[in-house]
Amino acid sequence: MKNSDIFLVDAGLDKSYATNGFGRCRGSLLKDYGSFFIQEEGSSISDFVEEREIDLSGVFLTHTHVDHVSGIVDLDDGIPIFFSNREKSMDLKPFYYAEYFRSKKFIQVLDVDSFVDTPILGRCFDVFGDSSFYAIYTPGHTPGHLSYLLNGENKVLFAGDACYTRHGLKYGVTASDYTWNKNVSQKSLERILRFKDKYNINIILGHSL
């Protein structure tokens, strides 16, 4: 990874959530299955990128829940998008769908079966081949959930929804809401905490800074 490269980990909500709580989602059972969010106008990730004229090199998704992925629709379609091969689309056409990836030109699926097994964190992948950035398989919240480690002098782990909040991190308890398998998620969190204790890393959580 070059020093000039700028990547996102997750993309938040797209601009449409400033005026519509269901965003771009549609379908016959939208109100039964859709997630409702409110976002202040001008606070989407694309607003942030546009205001600062940031030239993004790519987006790494922890998982494909709407509040982490929908923001990609407002980004340039040529920006590479990365996520796990075990991650499933949230679209349930014709009942509930958004097709966030439909126009994206460069989608790279990271095959967790090819990841290298490590003693503490489990399956990991050296994304750029220079030990600067790792994808880590942390299933539980979703079947294909990934966390990402920025491996510099000051290590930062982007945990996504492997843990939601500082409260959960402090007490070592994973969230159960919207979680595919709480027991598997708990084991992923425990691996993260062991790594944190050994290397004193900074952890960025999915819903709390």
Residue 209 has pLDDT above 70, yes or no: no
Q: What is the pLDDT of residues 22-55, one digit of tens each?
A: 999 999 999 988 889 989 999 999 999 999 999 9
What local confidence, expressed as pLDDT, does residue 135 receive?
98
- Alpha carbon 77 to its chain's center: 18
- Give yes or no for a contact between 22 and 30, defined as CB atoms under 8 angstroms apart: yes
Q: What is the pLDDT of residues 1-14, one digit of tens each?
A: 776 889 999 999 99
Determine the Cα–Cα distance for residues 73 and 62; give it in Å rounded to an integer: 16
The helices-and-strands tally (H runs, E runs) of the chain is 5, 10
Residue 74, both tokens? 């407002």
Helices (H), ranges, 158-204? 166-171, 182-199
What local confidence, expressed as pLDDT, does residue 205 receive?
93
Alpha-carbon distance values, 162 to 113, 165, 179, 188 (Å):
19, 10, 9, 7
Residue 17, both tokens? 């959530």
Domains of the chain: 1-110 (3.60.15.10), 111-209 (3.60.15.10)
Give phi and psi for 9, each to the nearest 5: -110, 110
| Cα end-to-end distance, the chain, whole Å | 25
Q: What is the pLDDT of residues 181-198, one digit of tens each?
A: 999 999 999 999 999 999
3-class SS at 191?
helix
Helix, strand, coil abundance in the chain, percent, nearest 5: 25, 20, 55
Q: What is the pLDDT of residues 162-173, one digit of tens each?
A: 998 888 899 999
Q: Indicate the DSSP class of residue 13.
A: -
Q: What is the pLDDT of residues 97-156, one digit of tens each?
A: 999 999 999 999 999 999 999 999 999 999 999 999 999 999 999 999 999 999 988 899
What local confidence, expressed as pLDDT, does residue 39 receive?
93
Determine the Cα–Cα distance for residues 117 and 114; give it in Å rounded to an integer: 9
Q: What is the pLDDT of residues 135-145, one digit of tens each?
A: 999 999 999 99
